[in-house]
Every structure is written in structure tokens, then in C-alpha cells.
Amino acid sequence: MASRLAILLLPLFITLYLSGCSGCSRSGSHQPKKSKRNTPDQTTSKPKPTSAELPKPTLKQIGSGPTEVAMEKDRGVYKVPVTVNGVPMKFILDTGASLISISATEAEFMFKQGAITDTDIIGQSKFQDANGDISPGDVIRLKSVQIGDRVLENVTANVVRSTKAPLLLGQSALSQFGKISVDYRRNIVTFD
């Protein structure tokens, strides 16, 4: 029996193969929609929670004071190390993205590793990319997002239905901090 995530991602791979999608780089509208498909264990679809019903993210501080995180410049963009549900990744710091954004490839990997489960899938939505194009996507809940010595819990993210979409550290995580500053001379981001 195929998992719900695999069912969600199969149309993506077919669409990408046929359309040659170049990938998305920014999330836009992210209101979860009601699911219209039936799964083998349910004959009617149940409404997914709205963003007002989602648990609010919480921030835990492991150390004291601000936390500094080293940035790495990669092909003109700065990436920061982030651990999502126990999986280390490198995200582009993107203050213009409304949510944390991951590609279908990363979501599928995390699902296979058990880092994302069926209960983490919140709904579907449409996202606007940097070109202004609207693309379908899935909204998920991340149990933990660790940046330096800060851990965010219950963070909303989107899965962009593109294998080429970059990992974006957007406002669903960044807005939980009081202040973020970038030191390009030292290649450091400070979260306070």
C-alpha cells in the first residue's frame, strides 16, 4: 500500500517530467485546502485544518544569549545549516519566503527516513514562485527546526512540487526570532 506522501508526489514527478519545470524559489499563498482525494482507509475526505487551527510554533533556547551560525556561500547565495526533524540540511536564508520551503525530493527522503509521517501532512496549497508563476504544493508540519542552539517546534513548511526547488528558510521560522543580523565579513548570521 502506497503512503499518502507517495500518492501526493506521484503526480508531481509525472508533471515535471512532461513540463520540464525549472523549479520554484519562493513560497507565496499558503492556505491549506481541503483534500478531495479518497485514500484506501477513508471513503470521504475530511477537511484539513486551516492556518488558524494549526499549532503555533514555539522557540526553545538551548544556550544563553544570541546564537551565531556560520554561512556558506554557494553559487552566489548564502546557506545556513539547519536540522529539520533530526535531518541536517543547508538552507538559503530567504526573508522573502513566507514559509520554510523544501522540494519534493527532500520531502520524499525525509518520509522514507521517518522524519516526516502521514500525520505531518496538513493539506494542499498553491505557491507563487520568483517568476510569479503559481504552482501546486503541499503544506506540512515540521516537528523541530534547529538553527544553532535554538529549536523551533511545530513549524509550518511547504513542499514545492519540483525536484529542483531550493531549500528556503522562510518567515515561518525566521519570524520567531526577535532579531536576525548578517555579518558578511565573517560569514555569520546571528539569531537573537
Q: Could you list the pLDDT tens digit for every one of the 192 residues in the chain?
A: 444 544 444 444 333 333 333 333 344 444 444 443 333 333 333 344 555 556 677 777 676 789 999 999 999 999 999 999 999 999 999 988 889 999 999 999 999 999 999 999 999 888 777 777 788 889 999 999 999 999 999 999 999 988 788 999 999 999 999 899 999 999 999 998
Distance from C-alpha of 98 to C-alpha of 26, rounded to nearest angstrom: 8
The CATH homologous superfamily to which domain 4-30+52-191 belongs is Acid Proteases (2.40.70.10)
Distance from C-alpha of 160 to C-alpha of 106, rounded to nearest angstrom: 10
| Strand pairing report for 168-169 and 87-93 | parallel
Q: Does the global pTM surpass 0.95?
A: no
| Strand pairing report for 134-147 and 150-160 | antiparallel
- Where are the domains positioned within the chain? 4-30+52-191
Going by C-beta distance under 8 Å and a sequence separation of 6 or more, which residues neighbour residue 133? 24
| pLDDT score at 185 | 95
Q: Which helix (DSSP H) or strand (DSSP E) does residue 12 occupy?
A: helix 4-19
